Structure formats: structure tokens, C-alpha cells
């Protein structure tokens, strides 16, 4: 570590070496001899590496902490590094939320001593090294922070509330539910058991304080249900319009959206259906366990005697080729549309061969959601309708047509005699 036996300032960190591409700092003992590599700074690569350590006050010995190496990537200088990390004075984790998270991580991955956190990194969990994307980690840390604040408030109110019971001179504290706390509370649970009368009373109390412009409470909650439906569908429409305004080919975002709101897709069928499975395997794997067919959504009808396969693309996919195939108004299918149709037919064929005998299915319906009809001119729309109506095995639906269905539901809910 110190080939020239050079001595530095004792009992502190000193820069070792004079390399231009990297600054290295080591902790030096009472004799000024470097004994522990403490920090490395790679300014060109926007990378800071810290080696957390502790110094024994009795004999001055140095030893690494539980996390041996913290690597921070993507920030221009130390001032930009998130405050959750201690970048001066022995380094490590600074905030309570960061310590809580990494303690939990350590309990699950006790053999890991090297952590990398950075901007635009891919999350990776290896046996000796964990890499975390800062955007994803920040969401978790914020949730931990909010949860701790909520717990601290609740603890203080709980103590004061119980003291008011045993001492009449202590006023009973008022406790209000801040906006967003109810959603965060319910988000902790993945499912709910049977609701009892106390739960219903509590829910009634919440409904009573909702502004009348949003919901009208009545004895049988009929108006409430109608208003909730309106607000819910209006919110869905806003989210749909946000996705449809994206200039990117956001297929994964559409799949997540339809997964959370599968009832929208059920409106594409003339009969009752239920979502059987998302990203369903429909067969086709080779002996090497590859080339398996995956359909985005698999629906089953209410009688459990037939299936429907639904494939989603994105609103950015073209429906027809821009150049006229034969003047004046004959257009060819786009590669995306013809490829999507072929994909659906292949998935249907594979499904029938692999599962047709075990699962009753009579010519399963196939639906392909793709493109925007509003992007076509008058001649193209006419050609598209001819092409669509000629497809006997595949029903083609565009994204803006689904949006029109949602807006139609709002009109139905707003209709009054």
C-alpha cells in the first residue's frame, strides 16, 4: 500500500498516489502509515467507491464494517450524492430510512458485502454483489420515511388518548386522516377478509366527509355507487389518454394498464368473460425449452366451455402502409398489422393443439388490439374496414375505439330520465 514508505498525517485519511484518473484515500495510523483503503473517486466515470470502516479507540486498529464496499455511480460530484449515504467521516449509511432498508436487505442476503447504487442502472442481485437503481430505491426509502412518520404520529396520539381516559384534565386529542393516508394504509394489504359491521360504520364515516360534488350518500348508497363509478371511469379515461398521448412504443405499459383494468377488455366480448390468466403460456416449446407461445391475456367465458385469446400491441403501430398499393385508394396492411394477425393465428393453433383436448374450446375467439383508426385518412379508413371485416378468425380493435367505449360508459352513467 505504501511502497516508498512515505509517511502521511497520522490518525486520518490522506490521499495516496497522484494518479490523474482516480483519487485514492487511505486511513493512516498514528505513525502516518497507510493501513486501510477508505475511498476512491473516479471523476471521469462519475463513480465514487467507499470502504466503510471503524477505528478502535483503544489500540487504533482499523476494521471494515458490515458493508465492505459502497459504490455510487452517475453523480457528477459528492455534493450531488443522495443524503442517505455518508460520504465523509468514515462513510456508510446516514439516514434512518437507509439503515432500515439495508438492514432488512442484509438479513436476506447475508453473504453480500458489496453494494452499487446508481442512476440508470439495472437492478441485480448476485451472491456477493447487489446493484440497485436509484429511482427504484428512492421510492422504497420514501415509503419507509412516510411509514415512520405515520408511526411516530400515531404513537404520540395513542399515548395522549389513553392518558385522557385515566385523567380527565388531559384533553382527548383530535385525530384527522390526512389526504393520501387512507390509500397508503389500504395499499399495505393485498386482499381483505370478511367486512364486519364496525368496518362498515368506519367506511360510512369516510363517505360522509367526501365532497357532495364527488359523491351523494343515501341510505342505500345507490347514488354513492353511481358517483364512485363515474369518478373511477373518469380517472381510467385520464390514464388511458395519458398512455395514448405517449410518443413511445410503450407496449409494456399498456399490458400493465390492461392487467390492472381487465374489465375494460371484457367489454370487447358480447358475452360474460373472466380473465383466466395474463401472459398465458399456450404451448409450443421445443425440447430445448424455448420458442414457447405467450399470449398477453387469456379469457374464459361464463359457462367455462370456451376461451378467448387477446393480444395487445401499442397505439403507435401502423395499421396500413402509407404508400398507395393501387391507385386511387387501395392500401396494403402494415407489417405490424399482418404480423400481429399471424401471431394471433399461431397462438390459437398452438393453444388448440396443446390444450384443446383438456380444455373445452370451440374455435376460440382471437382479438388483436393495435394502432389508432383516427390516424387514417378517409380512403385509408374505408380500406381498413374492408380488411378488418374480411378477417373471419381475428377481430381487430384499435386503441381509440376502446377509448370511445369508455367515454360511452360515462354517457350512460350521466344519463337521467
Query: Does 231 map to a domain?
Result: yes
**pLDDT for the residue 288:** 39
Domain boundary among 240, 259, 277: 240
Domain boundary among 218, 240, 262: 240
Please give the helix or strand (H or E) that residue 367 lies within, else none. strand 365-369
Query: Does 30 map to a domain?
Result: no
pTM above 0.95, yes or no: no
**pLDDT for the residue 387:** 93
The residue among 229, 208, 206 whose CA lies nearest residue 218 is 208
Q: Domain check: are 258 and 208 in the same one? A: no
Query: Does 210 map to a domain?
Result: yes
C-alpha distances in Å from residue 323, one per residue of 318, 320, 330, 387 = 12, 9, 9, 16
Number of structural domains the chain divides into: 2
Query: Does 255 map to a domain?
Result: yes
Can you give the residue range of the structural domain that contains 275? 246-413
Q: Domain check: are 221 and 326 in the same one? A: no
Query: Does 396 map to a domain?
Result: yes
Query: Does 379 map to a domain?
Result: yes
Instruction: Strands of 1-103 (E only): list them.
Output: 12-16, 23-28, 34-42, 47-50, 53-55, 62-64, 69-73, 85-86, 92-93
Please give the helix or strand (H or E) that residue 107 lies within, else none. helix 96-108
Low-confidence ranges of the chain (pLDDT < 70): 1-5, 192-198, 200-201, 204, 207-229, 270-294, 301-305, 355-362, 415-417
Q: Domain check: are 307 and 225 in the same one? A: no
Q: Domain check: are 399 and 254 in the same one? A: yes
Q: Domain check: are 258 and 311 in the same one? A: yes
308: exposed, middle or buried (C-beta count within 10 Å: 0-12, 13-18, 19+)? buried
Query: Does 160 map to a domain?
Result: no
**pLDDT for the residue 11:** 93
**pLDDT for the residue 249:** 87
Do 28 and 22 touch, CB atoms closer than 8 A?
Answer: no
**pLDDT for the residue 358:** 63
**pLDDT for the residue 274:** 57
**pLDDT for the residue 361:** 63
Q: Domain check: are 230 and 328 in the same one? A: no
Amino acid at each position: 500500500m505504501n511502497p516508498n514508505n512515505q509517511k502521511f498525517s497520522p490518525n486520518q485519511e490522506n490521499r495516496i498516489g497522484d494518479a490523474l484518473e482516480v483519487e485514492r484515500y487511505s486511513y493512516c495510523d498514528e505513525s502516518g502509515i497507510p493501513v486501510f483503503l477508505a475511498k476512491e473517486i473516479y471523476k471521469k466515470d462519475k463513480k465514487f467507491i467507499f470502504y466503510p470502516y471503524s477505528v478502535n479507540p483503544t489500540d487504533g486498529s482499523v476494521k471494515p464494517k458490515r458493508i465492505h464496499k459502497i459504490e455510487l455511480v452517475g453523480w457528477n460530484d459528492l455534493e450531488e450524492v443522495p443524503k442517505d449515504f455518508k460520504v465523509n467521516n468514515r462513510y456508510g449509511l446516514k439516514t434512518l430510512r437507509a439503515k432500515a432498508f439495508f438492514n432488512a436487505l442484509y438479513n436476506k442476503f447475508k453473504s453480500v458485502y458489496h453494494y452499487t447504487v446508481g442512476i440508470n442502472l439495472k437492478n441485480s442481485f448476485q451472491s456477493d454483489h447487489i446493484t440497485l437503481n436509484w429511482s427504484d430505491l428512492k421510492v422504497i426509502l420514501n415509503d419507509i420515511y412516510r411509514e415512520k412518520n405515520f408511526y411516530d404520529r400515531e404513537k404520540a396520539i395513542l399515548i395522549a388518548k389513553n392518558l385522557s381516559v385515566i385523567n380527565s384534565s388531559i384533553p382527548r386529542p383530535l385525530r384527522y386522516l390526512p389526504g393520501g393516508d387512507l390509500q397508503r394504509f389500504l395499499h399495505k394489504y393485498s386482499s381483505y377478509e370478511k367486512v364486519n359491521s364496525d368496518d362498515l360504520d368506519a367506511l360510512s364515516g369516510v363517505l360522509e366527509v367526501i365532497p357532495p360534488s364527488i359523491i351523494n350518500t343515501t341510505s342505500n348508497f345507490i347514488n354513492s355507487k353511481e358517483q364512485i363509478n363515474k369518478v373511477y371511469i373518469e380517472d381510467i379515461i385520464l390514464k388511458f389518454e395519458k398512455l395514448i398521448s405517449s410518443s413511445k412504443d410503450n407496449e409494456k405499459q399498456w399490458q400493465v394498464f390492461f392487467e390492472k383494468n381487465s374489465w375494460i377488455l371484457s367489454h370487447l366480448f358480447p358475452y360474460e368473460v373472466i380473465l383466466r390468466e395474463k401472459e398465458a403460456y399456450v404451448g409450443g416449446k421445443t425440447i430445448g425449452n424455448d420458442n414457447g407461445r405467450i399470449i398477453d391475456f387469456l379469457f374464459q367465458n361464463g359457462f367455462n366451455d370456451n376461451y378467448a385469446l387477446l393480444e395487445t400491441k401499442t397505439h403507435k403501430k401502423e395499421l396500413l402502409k402509407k404508400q398507395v398499393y393501387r391507385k386511387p385508394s387501395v392500401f396494403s396492411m402494415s407489417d405490424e398489422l399482418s404480423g400481429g394477425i399471424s401471431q394471433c393465428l399461431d397462438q390459437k393453433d398452438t393453444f388448440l393443439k396443446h390444450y384443446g383436448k383438456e380444455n373445452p374450446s370451440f374455435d376460440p375467439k382471437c382479438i388483436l388490439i393495435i394502432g389508432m383508426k383516427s390516424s387514417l385518412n378517409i380512403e385509408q379508413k374505408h380500406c381498413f374496414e374492408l380488411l378488418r371485416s374480411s378477417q373471419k378468425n381475428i377481430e381487430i380493435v384499435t386503441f381509440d375505439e376502446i377509448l370511445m367505449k369508455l367515454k360511452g360508459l360515462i354517457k350512460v352513467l350521466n344519463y337521467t330520465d
